[in-house]
Copies of this chain bind each other. A is one copy, B any other.
């Protein structure tokens, strides 16, 4: 195994980190138009797919945020009326977060702008082959790091 990075490899690494950051920053601006932080939007978006809610830990793990950070954010979302906490039947240690109808409404209202942004700033700049490669390649990276 080599012990250095050539300049192309280094550039690929910088591009990955910077693109990830900048996309998130753009998403952040769009979310705030709807009164959400990007993390809050991600949480609500995940819950939209989860008919029976999601456990705190599962949310924290998929969203790359600490447990305590998630506790805080779910607290904020609960105050805002977008989610409710329920304790799990099967395992009473677990807390399950559920979307309320208000929360569902809010995330659905935020979605179109979000999609448009991702399309404009990311997908439409690239060829389908590039998008496909990014997906398969970066999924390998994600798998190895999780």
Q: Does A80 interact with chain B (Cβ within 8 Å)? A: no
What is the count of identical protomers in the complex?
Answer: 2
Q: Does A50 interact with chain B (Cβ within 8 Å)? A: no
Interface residues of A in 125-139 (CB under 8 A from B): 125-126, 129-139
Contact indicator A137/B140 (Cβ below 8 Å): no
Contact partners of A141 in chain B: CB under 8 A: 15, 19, 22-23, 121-122, 125-126
Q: Does A119 interact with chain B (Cβ within 8 Å)? A: yes
Closest B residue to A125 by beta carbon equals B140
Contact indicator B123/A144 (Cβ below 8 Å): no
Contact partners of A121 in chain B: CB under 8 A: 141, 144-145
Give the residue of B9, B25, B134, B144 whose beta carbon is less than 8 angstroms from that of A16: B134
Contact partners of A119 in chain B: CB under 8 A: 1-3, 5, 9
Give the residue of B9, B115, B131 whose beta carbon is less than 8 angstroms from that of A123: B9
